[in-house]
Amino acid sequence: MPLILAIVMVVLIAGGVGGYFLLTGNDSAGSAADRPANALPRLWEMPSSASARERQDENGLRSMWFNSDDVIYGDGEGVRAYNRKTGKKSWTVETPKGAGEVCAMSKDSSYEGVGVVVFDAGGDDCSYVSVVDTDTGRTLWSKNLQDTSGAEHRPRVVVNKKVVAVTIGRTYAGFSVSGADKVWELTSRGRQCTNSVGLSPQYLAWVSNCPDEKPQAQLSLQDLEYPSIHSKIDGEKRPIEQILSDRPLTLLMLDGSSADPDRFIQTYTKEGQPDHSFKLEGELKDLAFDSRSTYVDDDEQVLVAQYGAGKGLAAMDLKTGKLLWKKRGSAATAGVDDAGVIAVTTSPDSGASARDPLLVSIGLRDGKEKVMGAVYDPEHSLPSPDSMSLAWNGIDKTLFVQGERLSDNRPSVQAFKVPPGR
């Protein structure tokens, strides 16, 4: 019988829902005097229904998915798709019979257009899995994974082109995207093991320390699309805190005192063998891997993460372990495109604190910053960037912002368009 394993996973977040939309022209009414010259046109705004689970970022409830036309997000009232240009609702995911509110969403949908939603199966037990076609909102299959181990509050779900992987209750398993058949299941190596597990769309990383087995300590890496172990590294005993990226596979690992452990960035080759390992010390010690702002670029071999007490951003070279650049003040990443990291900040490189948050592109290696426009709200009531949930669609250059207004704590989702030439 599988033993319960501890799991940690990094996720990106965002979310919201709504019942009306505002066109760009409404922004100018009564506010032309203090509207910045570089204000980004606001396409629409939707009110968002608050949920106690939205602040549990590890559940991914505030994730945002895209299909060819829509942005898809969820909250306590469900998961919905809205046209990216108009804000018109396209579809709503059907709640399975006997299920309750939405608990969690997968970090991303797959390239093949499949996303995963977890519903409350009763008794505040988040264990009802629905696999969804993101083009239509149609449920491909649902499965109730509720068991007798107690209520599940922190479900983990990821999806790739072949497999939906879950850690819910006592179930650590992969299911076929097409038919819900179980294709693999994780079981402990021994009865006296302590375990830490990281889960990402492509990999399961599992460190086990088992006094009753040989080797006592071992890291196993599994490509989730296949039932067999991809590679094993004997003697690796550092617990896994997070999987930061699939390409290259990048782990945040701990070592030493449980009260104040040392942290390490560990990368792996495509063959699943250890590549680079860097202890986070000196300036690197101030890196924080918030799910809103952590990004790894495979081509440039650069890690971008939250930085410092002011919750700015910084970049680290994954080949040398050097800090490439750092940004002061509140900032958060929305995505990445050819220009580099797309971020929102209140503290641009010009040195002047912005009244309204600014959308910027930042060069991955040189940190050079280009302002694309002001994320303008007529009431100047947007939260600080590190409190926002952000998503960037590079195809039509649209920024999606979810957050609670400072004036009335009313959550909403807004869409801002970057004009040509910026």
What is the distance in angstroms between the CA of the first residue and the CA of the last residue of the chain? 58
Please give the full DSSP string across 9-29, using - where no structure is assigned: ----------S----GGGGGT
Residue 39 identity:
A
Q: Please report the pLDDT score of residue 53 as a whole number.
A: 64
Closest CA to 160 of 104, 220, 94, 226: 226
Q: Please report the pLDDT score of residue 63 as a whole number.
A: 85
Q: Please report the pLDDT score of residue 8 as a whole number.
A: 35
pLDDT tens string 255-275: 987 788 999 999 999 899 999
Read off the DSSP letter of residue 386. Answer: G
Q: Please report the pLDDT score of residue 29 as a whole number.
A: 45
Q: Please confirm whether the linkage preceding 215 is cis (ω < 30° from 0).
A: yes
Q: Beta strand 194-199 with 6-8: parallel, antiparallel or unpaired?
A: parallel
Residue 58's φ and ψ, nearest 5 degrees, are -65, -20
Residue 24 burial class via C-beta count within 10 angstroms: exposed 0-12, middle 13-18, buried 19 and up: middle
Q: Please report the pLDDT score of residue 381 as a whole number.
A: 83
List of residues 6+ apart from 60 with CB closer than 8 A: 11, 12, 13, 104, 105, 106, 107, 157
Neighbours of 416 (CB within 10 A): 25
Cβ–Cβ < 8 Å for 212, 227: no
Q: Please report the pLDDT score of residue 220 as a whole number.
A: 95
Under-50 pLDDT residues of the chain: 1-26, 28-30
Closest CA to 220 of 210, 212, 280: 210
Q: Beta strand 182-185 with 171-176: parallel, antiparallel or unpaired?
A: antiparallel
Beta-bridged to residue 166, according to DSSP, are 157, 173
Kindly provide the residue ranges of all beta strands, DSSP E only, lying in 84-125, ordered along the sequence. 89-92, 102-105, 114-120
Residue 319 identity:
K
Cβ–Cβ < 8 Å for 105, 99: no
Instruction: Give the Cα separation of 402 and 24 in Å (integer).
Output: 17
Residue 24 identity:
T
pLDDT tens string 6-36: 333 333 333 322 333 344 344 544 456 688 8
